[in-house]
Structure 1
C-alpha cells in the first residue's frame, strides 16, 4: 500500500442549515406579537419591503396547494364562550371529522404570501389605516393609584408638618398590596424621633381608605377590617393569632384556642373569607393584554367546520419591485449593487417564509380540529389523547415542526379561546381494552365527581377509582391523588371536616 497524497472526486448529499432556513424555522414558533415586532424591524431595515396598501384592489386569489389545510371565510360565531362540558350541537345532524374548504379561499399573493382569508368584507385589518379606531388602553378612564389616593388623605388628616412627612414616607413604602414591609425603626432613625411617634402616625394611616392598608402582616390587615365592622372580639382575635391552624384546616384546634363551638367557628371563618387580604390591589388597575387568536373557527349549518387565519395577526408586507427596478437602472458601484441584490433576496425570502408559516399553521390547526372533532361537538369528556406524532403523520411534517407551530398559537372556537397545546394530552388506558382516555378528560371527571358529592357521602380516592373503572377508565389510586392535588382539591378527610362545619 502506497502512502502518498492524491485528489479524489466524490458526490454526496447533505442537509445544510442555511441562515435563511434557520430563520424560517424560528418564525414558526413566534407568537403573533413577536412576529409583528420582527416584521416591523425588517421594514425599518430593508428599503425594498413595504406594507401592503389595503386601499388598493385586492389581487386575484391564488389556488391553494393540494396539501394545504382547509381555509374558512366566515366570521367567528358569537357562541365562542360556550362551556367546554356541554354538547354543542345535535350529533344526528352533523358529519363528524370533516373540515370543508371554501371555493374562494385566498392563500395570498405569491409576492405577499400572507393573506390567508377569503375575499369577504369581514372586519380586521382590511380597512384603511386612516380609520379612527382607538386602542383598549385609550378607552379606559384614568383612576388614581394607591399612593395618590393615600397622599390625598395625608393632607387632610395631619396638621403638623413633621407628621405629614412621616405619613408621606410611610405611604411611599407601602407596597402594591397595601402592606408596609419596612420596620418602624427605619423611619424612627430617618426622622430622628422616637418609635412611639412613628406608631402614632401609622395608627392614623391605618384608618385610611381602603380599610386594612398599612398593615404589617396578614393578621393585622384582617384585624383592621374586622375592627372597622366592630367584629374584633377576643374569639376573633384568637383566630387571627392562629391563622396557621386555619391554613392547615385544623378546625378542632381553632375551637380550643378560640373557646367556641363548631357553629361559631364556621361563622367566624365565613367572616374571614369575606375580607380582602390585599386591599391595595383595588387601585392597581392595568389594562390586560387580550389574547388575539391566530385561527378563527366556525361551525356551518351542514355540520362541518370552517377555519381561517385571523387577518389581524397576519403581517402584510410586499416587495417593492418598482423601486428595485428603478434603483437597478441607476449607475451604482459594485458595493451598492451587492447591497440592493442582498436586500432584494432577503425581502423575497421573508415574504415566502411568512406565506409558508401561515400555510403550515392552518394545516396543523385543521388536522387538530379533525382529530378532536368529538371535543368540539360534545365537550371535554370527549377530548382524545393526542401526541405530536399523530398530527405530524396527518400533515406529513416532522414532530419538531408541529411543536413549533403549536407554540403560543391560539384558536377561537365555539367552546372558547384555546391554545393549540391544550389539545395534546397524555393517554390513560381503558379498562375494557377500548380506546384510551385523555388525561384532561379524566381530570375533569374527577373534579365533577368531587363537586357533586354530598356532605354525608364524601368520596375517597379509592371510591373515585372504583367509579372511574366502572366507567371504563383504568386508573391507579396514586394517579387520582396526583390529579386531585394538581387541582388543589383537599383530601377526603379535609373535605369531610370542612363540610361538617358548613364551610
Structure 2
C-alpha cells in the first residue's frame, strides 16, 4: 500500500486562553496596590487611556446584590467560564464603586464607615531641590560603622571591626566566627575577641551578641543590673521557658518576690536589638470593600472608591488622530491601542462587579459573625460561594486573595471567612474551626489557678457544647495559638518557691 499525502477536515473544540482573557484573570487576582501600579503603567503606554478626574461622583444609584438571571458575557463563551458577568451600570468604567445590600438579622451597629482622602504634599512652600527633603533611614550597618570610626582608632583594629560588622545578622547577633575572621586576616583570635568585646559596648545595647543569654547580659550590664543572681538566671533560660520558678529560686538563691522582679526586668529587654534599624515599616491595609449597617437593619456592601483606579478611553482624541493618519501601520497601531484600552476598562468593570458579588454573598452567609461575633462563624468553603454566585471555584479563590473588607468588627481578608467544619455531636449543624479555636481560647483564659484545664477536659467542655472533636485536634489548635500546655500554665499561675 502506497502512502500519499492528502487533505482532511476535522472539527474539534478546545478552550483557548487568549491574551485578553489572561489579562482579565490576572486583574482579578491583583491586590489594590498591584492594580494601581498596573493601571499607571498602562496609562503611560497607551495614549488613548486617560484618568477619570471626575471619580465616583458621577456614579449611578447602587444596585442590590440579589439573585438575578445571568446574561451572556460580552467577551465570548470562554470568558463566561471564569467570570459569568452580569449587566451592570455602576462599575468603575463609568465612575461608580457599586453597592450591594440585603437583609440581615437586626442589631446595633455604626451609622456608617467614613473614609477620608489624604492630600499629597507640595513643593510649592519653598525653593531648592525637592530631593533634599528626602530622608534616607539610617541602617544598622551605618550606625555601627559611625561608632567604629569614633571608638577605635588603630587601623588594624578597625579592619577587624569592619569584618565583625560584615558578619552581623539583621537581628544584631554576630554570625561570623571569631576564628574565621582571625584566619582570614592573619591575626590571632585573642585580637579579634578583644575588638569584639569593645564593640559589644556599642549602641544599641546587646549588639554583637553570639547567643540570647549574652545579648540579655550585655543589656543588663549596660543598665548596671548584671548581678550574680541575674547571671544565674540567664544561665538557666531553659528553666525560665518551662516556668520552673521553684528550681530558679534555688539556683538564684532568691525568694519568690525577688525572682518575679528579675523575670519582669528580663522581659523588658530586647532579644533582637538590630531589628530597630533595618525593619520595614508596617504598611497599612486599605480595604477593597466596605460594609455598613443601614437604618432598616440590612448590611450594605460597597466597593471602596479609593482603591478603584478610574480610567476611560479618549474616543475624541482617537478620532482626531485617525483623521490625520494615512500610514497603514499607524492605523493598525491606533486600532490595537483602542482595542486594548476598551478591554482594560471592561475588564476592570468586570473585576469590580465580580468582587462585589462575591463579597456580598460572603456577608450574607456569614451574617451571624457580623451580628454576634466569631462564635457564630459558620463553616464555609469556596464551593459554597461558587454555587451561590454561579462562578468557578478558581475565580472565587482569585477574588478572595489579598482582598480585604472593612466591617464594624474590624478589617478582615476575605479568605478569613472560609474555615473548615467540625461535626456536631448530635449530627446537627457543623461548627466552624475558627469558632472552635475561639471557644478553646475562651475556656483557657477563664480557667482558675486551682483548676487548669487539660486537653481532655477541654474536649469534654466542647462536647457539652455539641462539638465532636478529638483530643489531638484540641492540642493542635492550642499549639497553633501558642498556648502552653496545662502543666506549663499551672506552673505559671502557681509558681511556688
Q: 407, 421, 432: which is aligned to 1:427?
A: 421
Deviation at 1:312? 1.6
C-alpha distance in structure 2 between counterparts of 1:401 and 1:324, whole Å: 34
Query: Unaligned regions of 5+ residues in structure 2, if any?
Result: 69-87, 100-113, 125-131
> Contact 2:58/2:95 (CA < 8 Å) preserved in 1?
no
Residue 30 of structure 2 is matched in structure 1 by 30
Residue 401 of structure 1 is matched in structure 2 by 395
* Compared CA separation, residues 488 and 139, structure 1 to 2 (3 A): farther
> Contact 1:115/1:314 (CA < 8 Å) preserved in 2?
no
Q: 75, 97, 109: which is aligned to 1:116?
A: 97
Q: For 1:255-307, what per-residue CA distance to the aligned partner results, in whole angstroms no more than 9, with x for missing partners?
A: 67667777766555444333221122223354322111101112223322222
Q: For 1:357-384, what per-residue CA distance to the aligned partner results, in whole angstroms no more than 9, with x for missing partners?
A: 0011011111111111111111111111
C-alpha distance in structure 2 between counterparts of 1:192 and 1:432, whole Å: 75
Residue 60 of structure 2 is matched in structure 1 by 61
The within-5 A match list for 1:273-352 is 273-352=267-346
The 10-residue stretch of structure 1 (164-173 or 352-361) with the greater mean CA deviation from structure 2: 164-173
Residue 74 of structure 2 is matched in structure 1 by none
Query: Unaligned regions of 5+ residues in structure 1, if any?
Result: 70-104, 133-137
Q: For 1:188-244, what per-residue CA distance to the aligned partner results, in whole angstroms no more than 9, with x for missing partners?
A: 345554333332222222122222112122221122223334443445434433444
The within-5 A match list for 1:193-204 is 193-204=187-198
The within-5 A match list for 1:214-225 is 214-225=208-219
Residue 90 of structure 2 is matched in structure 1 by 107
Q: For 1:304-359, what per-residue CA distance to the aligned partner results, in whole angstroms no more than 9, with x for missing partners?
A: 22222111211111111112112222342333222222221121111111101001
* Compared CA separation, residues 128 and 263, structure 1 to 2 (3 A): closer
C-alpha distance in structure 1 between counterparts of 2:11 and 2:61, whole Å: 39
> Contact 1:430/1:436 (CA < 8 Å) preserved in 2?
yes
Residue 135 of structure 1 is matched in structure 2 by none
* Compared CA separation, residues 130 and 362, structure 1 to 2 (3 A): farther
The within-5 A match list for 1:88-487 is 107-108=90-91, 112-113=93-94, 115-117=96-98, 144-189=138-183, 191-247=185-241, 268-487=262-481
- Does 2:44 align with 1:50? no
C-alpha distance in structure 2 between counterparts of 1:27 and 1:446, whole Å: 39
C-alpha distance in structure 2 between counterparts of 1:126 and 1:236, whole Å: 50
* Compared CA separation, residues 344 and 126, structure 1 to 2 (3 A): farther
Q: How many equivalent residue pairs? A: 455
Q: SS at the partner of 1:495?
A: helix
* Compared CA separation, residues 403 and 160, structure 1 to 2 (3 A): closer
Residue 84 of structure 1 is matched in structure 2 by none
Q: SS at the partner of 2:60?
A: coil
Q: SS at the partner of 1:418?
A: strand
> Contact 2:59/2:95 (CA < 8 Å) preserved in 1?
no
TM-score by length of 1: 0.79
